[in-house]
């Protein structure tokens, strides 16, 4: 049974940093693409970043977070992290970890989801 559990959310001031972590179980992490999505109030869920399966290290970042966020995975520890730097108020959202056989920027293409963790960027 695939399980994804996010942690690390919270309240941070603009310009600050947070590190989200997704603990995985029930599948072999190296065989799956892993993604981070977010959903702000009144908005649709959107892609933040993904990491493709295999050892190629291929990643994708939305333009809004490129240069500020970094996705990383530790297949031995079965975790996927999202380091978020220089946070902005517009980054405020619930952040979700997702897993799927193939990578995609469309939330509807991903099969497995965590419960989400709230990130609030405010002074």
Q: 111-115 long-range CB contacts below 8 Å, 24 or more apart?
A: 111/2, 112/2, 112/4, 113/4, 114/4, 114/5, 114/6, 114/22, 115/5, 115/6
Q: Give residue 51's pLDDT.
A: 96
Q: Is 42 left (phi over 0), alpha (psi -120 to 50) or beta?
A: left
- pLDDT one-digit tens code per residue, 30-82: 999 999 999 999 999 999 999 998 877 899 999 999 999 999 999 889 999 99
Name residues whose C-beta falls within 8 Å of residue 13's C-beta, 6 or more positions apart in sequence. 121, 122, 123
The confidence score (pLDDT) of residue 41 equals: 93
pLDDT tens by residue, 14-34: 999 999 999 999 999 999 999
């Amino acid at each position: 049974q695939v399980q994804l559990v996010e942690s690390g959310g919270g309240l941070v001031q603009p310009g600050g940093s947070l590190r989200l972590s997704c603990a995985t179980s029930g599948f072999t992490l190296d065989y799956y693409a892993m993604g981070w999505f977010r959903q702000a109030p009144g908005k649709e869920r959107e892609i933040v970043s993904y990491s493709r399966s295999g050892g190629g290290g291929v990643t994708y970042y939305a333009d809004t977070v490129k240069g500020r966020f970094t996705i990383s995975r530790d297949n031995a520890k079965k975790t996927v992290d999202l380091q978020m730097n220089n946070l902005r108020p517009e980054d405020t959202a619930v952040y979700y970890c997702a897993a799927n056989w193939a990578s995609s920027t469309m939330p509807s293409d991903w099969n497995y989801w965590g419960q989400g963790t709230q990130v609030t960027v405010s002074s």
